[in-house]
């Protein structure tokens, strides 16, 4: 049996250590990049959300005044009441027809 060539064993172990540390370095770098991207995304999303909120408030304040809002609500209430009256009338008419046929 021949003796173990220690040079090859040491070279192989060194290569393995280099490969493992390189892989760990790559994983570490990717995780740092992911953290940076996540924080950038969160910041952009937060600023976009704030801007949407500002536009909603501006539109509310600009296009809906209290007087016009109350006027529109009053019209809607009257329209709904008229629709209810029409439905009641049609329902009464339908009930009379059903009773007259029986």
Can you give the residue ranges of every domain in the chain? 1-51, 64-102
Q: What is the CA radius of gyration of the chain?
A: 39
Confidence at residue 88, expressed as pLDDT on a 0 to 100 scale: 92
Q: At residue 81, does pLDDT exceed 90?
A: yes
Backbone angles phi, psi at 4, to 5 degrees: -70, 135
- What would the pLDDT profile of 33-75 be if each residue is shown by its tens digit? 888 888 888 888 898 889 999 988 888 777 777 777 788 889 9
Q: Tell me which residue of 96, 94, 74 sits closest to 86, measured CA to CA.
A: 94
Over 60: is that where the pLDDT of 1 sits? no
pLDDT of residue 2: 65
CA–CA gap between residue 40 and residue 31 (Å, rounded): 14
* Predicted pLDDT of residue 89: 93
The per-residue pLDDT for 87 is 93
Q: Is the dihedral of CA 13, 15, 16, 21 positive or negative?
A: positive
């Amino acid at each position: 049996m021949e003796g173990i060539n220690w040079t090859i064993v040491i070279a192989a172990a060194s290569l393995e250590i280099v490969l493992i540390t390189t892989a760990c370095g790559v994983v570490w770098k990717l995780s740092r990049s992911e953290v940076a991207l996540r924080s950038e995304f969160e910041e952009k999303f937060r600023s976009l959300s704030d801007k949407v909120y500002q536009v909603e408030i501006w539109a509310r304040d600009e296009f809906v005044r209290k007087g016009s809002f109350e006027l529109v609500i009053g019209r809607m209430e009257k329209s709904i009441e008229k629709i209810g009256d029409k439905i009641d009338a049609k329902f009464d008419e339908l009930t009379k027809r059903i009773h007259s046929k029986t």
